[in-house]
Amino acid sequence: MASTSKEPRKPLLARLFKEMMDPEQRALLGTLVFFLMIVVIGWQAINEPSRLGTFLDQYEGRSIERGAVLFADNCASCHGPDATGVQGRGPGLAYESFWDGTRLEEVAWAGTQYDFIYLTVAAGRPVVHPSYAENMPTWSQEYGGPMRPDQVRDVVAYVMNFGNDPVPDAQAVMPIELAQEIEIEEVGGDVVLEDALAAAALTGDPDHGEALFSGAEMPEMGTAELGCLGCHSLDGTTVVGPSILGVDERYLAYEDYMLPDTLDENAIEGLYYYLVEAIWYPNNYVSEGFVAGQMPADFRDQMSAQDLADIIAYILQVNE
């Protein structure tokens, strides 16, 4: 008995296309579909540059916004909140001669403006300019600073934005008196003591404190890393601010005349009080040889009491 096999049933669309349309109709339909594909692909090709341009504008805008936050937290104390500079601390970055090529010619820089700013932010300045009290620290983690490379790029994007509308050179530097009115404010000892007691009542985690200090983690209420390592070394060398190594020796000079009369060292050690004030209220007392206003004065708004306790635990551990 011979076996018979049934041909596989063709899909409905294939049957409609082949059985219900004559060759001329199929050719016409194929031509129309081909031209429709050409139109769709052409439309996509025409609009792709515009779409990518919009996406790039959005990306650059977000980068500038992130850079503005980082600049305000880490750079404004020396370069001014509007990047017009602060006398004795740092140069302006928004003035015309910085953007018209004059500055690049002065330093014999053959690269681009972007590369000049990026290298300066990332690697800092190893030499102190005679017009300023301190040298600029390194900020990129590639050079031992606290910022990731993408954060350095965000800061550069923000600074580059000033080149679109630079200010005249005559307005380049903020008078030191005005800068001090904006940034330097002393806080009463009763407020410091209350905060110090609150932090001392907590158990500090030195590992978390190290992560906050190095910029590996952000503080609880902050929008960016603290950047401590950019200004304070771990080995006793001076960068922009004093090293965290040797705080007990600096405390000896502090305790002679700065500890409040109401301080009960049974409840909190004087050194602990000193560190709380140095971190949260840095302009109350400035160590000899350093300048007021260089350290951000808003860490209290970025850190919780636990963050503060953790950083102090780390500093004390480094000094053991």
Contact indicator for 154, 172 with CB cutoff of 8 Å: no
Question: Would you state the pLDDT for residue 176?
Answer: 44
Name the E strands within the chain.
Answer: none
Mean predicted confidence (pLDDT) in 233-260: 77
Dist. CA 275–CA 248, nearest whole Å: 10
- Higher-pLDDT residue of 48 and 203 is 203
Q: How confident is the model at residue 97 (pLDDT cuts 50, 70, 90)?
A: confident
124-178 pLDDT tens trace: 887 767 667 677 888 998 888 888 899 999 999 999 998 888 877 644 444 444 4
Question: Would you state the pLDDT for residue 240?
Answer: 74
Least confident of 48-57, 79-88, 185-194: 185-194
Most confident of 61-65, 105-109, 125-129, 280-284: 61-65
Amino acid present at 78: C
Mean predicted confidence (pLDDT) in 257-263: 63
Sign of CA dihedral 10, 16, 22, 25: negative
67-78 pLDDT tens trace: 999 998 888 878
- Beta carbons within 10 angstroms of residue 63's beta carbon: 20
218-232 pLDDT tens trace: 888 876 677 788 788
- Higher-pLDDT residue of 252 and 114 is 114
Contact indicator for 240, 294 with CB cutoff of 8 Å: yes
Dist. CA 159–CA 156, nearest whole Å: 5
In terms of Cβ atoms closer than 10 Å to its own Cβ (0-12, 13-18, 19+), residue 33 is exposed
Dist. CA 135–CA 125, nearest whole Å: 6
Question: Would you state the pLDDT for residue 10?
Answer: 64
Cα 22–Cα 27–Cα 28 angle in degrees, nearest 5: 100
Question: Would you state the pLDDT for residue 262?
Answer: 62
Q: How far is CA 305 from the centre of its chain?
A: 22
Considering the chain, what is the average pLDDT of its residues? Answer: 79
- Beta carbons within 10 angstroms of residue 162's beta carbon: 18
How large a percentage of the chain has pLDDT more than 70?
79
Contact indicator for 299, 279 with CB cutoff of 8 Å: yes
Contact indicator for 167, 174 with CB cutoff of 8 Å: no
Phi first, then psi: what are they for 147, rounded to 5°?
A: -95, 140
Q: Show the domains of the chain with their CATH numbers.
A: 62-182 (1.10.760.10), 184-318 (1.10.760.10)
How large a percentage of the chain has pLDDT more than 90?
17
Question: Cβ contacts of residue 306 below 8 Å, gap of 6+?
Answer: 202, 220
In terms of Cβ atoms closer than 10 Å to its own Cβ (0-12, 13-18, 19+), residue 251 is buried
Would the pLDDT of 258 be above 80?
no
Question: Would you state the pLDDT for residue 114?
Answer: 94
pTM: 0.57
CA distances from 79 to 75, 87, 320 (A): 6, 9, 36
